[in-house]
């Protein structure tokens, strides 16, 4: 009678354990690599809610740059000019961002910049859910997006005097010429104004 090969019996268990470990690391990685913060991070509950009634819903099957521009225009003040905008997402994702998402909710942010303010829109499925306008006088530090591959942009990091902090990644819409142009304009404008916000107290953040 041949002895039993215990190694062959253990192989499926080892493979299963490794697979579970890999999935656990992938799930936890956004939190493991989350940037250091001193205040509330990527919080939107205090943003102004926007009623769904009366909103123009996002079109389907077509580039959204034109719709984004119309959404932003409703929030511009008299004489305020738009310097660029981009669809975006929280980086790392918040716990509420996990799960099955459809429509605009897959990349739930729109970021716009003017000479006066940052304008932030949080989406639901096809309409704006919350809105926040941040005057530059409220910004404590701002680390602008670095140029990325194929003309895309790196993450935007900024903190407010109120204690709130945000890190936002950009979609990089390669198949939308206007979308890419607007994202690049937004990133370039933020880089042009960033020196006014950087101070010695944020040196440790620049490498994040």
Domains in the chain, start-ordered, CATH in brackets?
A: 36-205 (2.30.29.30)
What value does the mean pLDDT take over residues 60-86?
95
Q: Would you say residue 78 has pLDDT above 90?
A: yes
- For position 27, what pLDDT does the model report? 43
Q: What is the dihedral of CA 86, 87, 91, 93, to 10 degrees?
A: 170
CA atoms within 13 Å, Cβ hemisphere of 125: 3
Over the stretch 149-198, which tens digit does the pLDDT of each residue have? Answer: 888 999 999 999 999 999 999 999 888 999 999 999 999 999 999 999 86
Give this prediction's pTM.
Answer: 0.77
Residues 83-95, mean pLDDT to the nearest whole number: 92
Classify each residue of 12-29 as buried b or exposed e, where b means 16 or more C-beta atoms within 10 Å of its C-beta.
eeeeeeeeeeeeeeeeee
pLDDT value at 200 more than 60: no
From residue 107, alpha-carbon distances to 86, 171, 173 in Å are 11, 8, 12
100 versus 62: which is more confidently predicted? 62
Q: Distance between CA atoms of 123 and 128, rounded to whole angstroms?
A: 4
Task: Report the alpha-carbon distance of residue 47 to residue 44 in Å, rounded.
Answer: 5
Percentage with pLDDT > 90 across the chain: 61
pLDDT (average), residues 65-84: 97
- Point out the least confidently predicted range of 8-12, 126-130, 156-160: 8-12
- Max Cα–Cα distance, the chain, nearest Å: 91
Question: How far is it, in rounded angstroms, from Cα 19 to Cα 40?
Answer: 34
**Which has more confidence, 141 or 21?**
141
């Amino acid at each position: 009678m041949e002895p039993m090969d215990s190694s062959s019996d253990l192989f499926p268990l080892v493979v299963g354990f490794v697979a579970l470990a890999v999935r656990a690391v992938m799930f936890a990685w956004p939190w493991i690599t989350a940037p250091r913060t001193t205040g509330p991070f990527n919080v939107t509950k205090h943003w102004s809610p926007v009623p769904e009634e009366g909103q123009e819903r996002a079109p389907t099957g077509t580039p959204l740059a034109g719709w984004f521009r119309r959404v932003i225009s409703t929030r511009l003040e008299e004489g305020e000019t738009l310097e660029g905008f981009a669809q975006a997402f929280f980086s790392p994702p918040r716990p509420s961002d996990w799960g099955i998402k459809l429509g605009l909710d897959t990349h739930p942010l729109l970021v716009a910049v003017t000479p006066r303010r940052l304008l932030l829109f949080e989406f639901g499925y096809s309409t704006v859910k919350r809105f926040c306008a941040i005057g530059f006088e409220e910004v404590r530090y701002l680390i602008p997006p670095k140029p990325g591959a194929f003309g895309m942009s790196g993450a935007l990091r900024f903190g407010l005097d109120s204690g709130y902090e945000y890190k936002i990644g950009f979609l990089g819409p390669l198949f939308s010429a206007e979308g890419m142009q607007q994202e690049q304009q937004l990133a370039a404008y933020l880089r042009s104004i960033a020196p006014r916000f950087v101070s010695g107290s944020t040196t440790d953040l620049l490498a994040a």
